[in-house]
Amino acid sequence: MRELNKVKGVGPKTYEKLKESSIDTIEDLLLYFPKNYKVQEIKSIHMARLNESISLSARILDKPKIFFFRKNLSKMTLNVFSEGQKFKVDIFNRHFLAKVLFKNVDIVVTGKFRKDFRSFLASEIVLKKNYKEGIIPEYKIKDIKDGRIRNIISNIFEQHFYISETLPDAILDKRNIDGIQEVVSYIQSIPDTDWFME
């Protein structure tokens, strides 16, 4: 199985978008290395500093409130509780998340406390059960979310797809070089899989 369009998660639209970025095969995708990596880690609220980005675990206290300022601008506000502290979270243009943000749901909010520790401006809100801690690759492929790319690559690895080695074993052994499979699996590190290495 070497056809990219047969990999789980690669529908016709995604396949066409990948081809627009010159990614036609499974090898092309595995050799399309991340542009950047970000570290996702939940920290204690006691480590928070004003105007410094942090990710916190919190529990929603009541139903989110949504405000529309104009057609393309909305603000969602919710009250949360974390390690004995209550604070208000604001996030812009994410009102669609309200359909899963219910009272007593555990979430992870990423953002900054602003003027005090009662007001938090979030850049991201994720259900805690879906939040992955670790080193997260970012691909920045046009019109495709990084999460989708990570899922596709994870599905490829789960199918035990191997990239053909181009260097002779003698050279790999003599120079103590890892094979292309090991190198690619390290670069494409995906949390919560056997391929994730730190």
87 close to 121: Cβ distance less than 8 angstroms: no
The confidence score (pLDDT) of residue 169 equals 81
124 close to 110: Cβ distance less than 8 angstroms: yes
Q: pLDDT tens digit string along 5-23? A: 888 889 999 999 999 999 9
Burial of 56 (0-12, 13-18, 19+ CB in 10 A): buried
Q: What are phi and psi of 136, to 5 degrees?
A: -110, 120
Largest Cα–Cα separation, the chain: 66
**Measuring CA to CA, how many Å separate 63 from each of 56, 66, 91, 105, 122?**
19, 10, 14, 10, 17
Look at residue 102 and tell me whether its pLDDT is greater than 70.
yes
- Percentage of the chain with pLDDT > 90? 53
Q: pLDDT tens digit string along 121-172? A: 999 999 999 898 888 889 999 999 888 998 898 888 888 777 777 778 888 7
* Ramachandran sector of residue 99 (left: φ over 0; alpha: ψ -120 to 50; beta: rest): alpha
Amino acid at 168: P
Look at residue 195 and tell me whether its pLDDT is greater than 50.
no
pTM exceeds 0.75: no
Q: pLDDT tens digit string along 58-77? A: 999 999 999 998 778 999 99
At 58, is the secondary structure helix, strand, or coil?
Answer: strand
The confidence score (pLDDT) of residue 164 equals 76
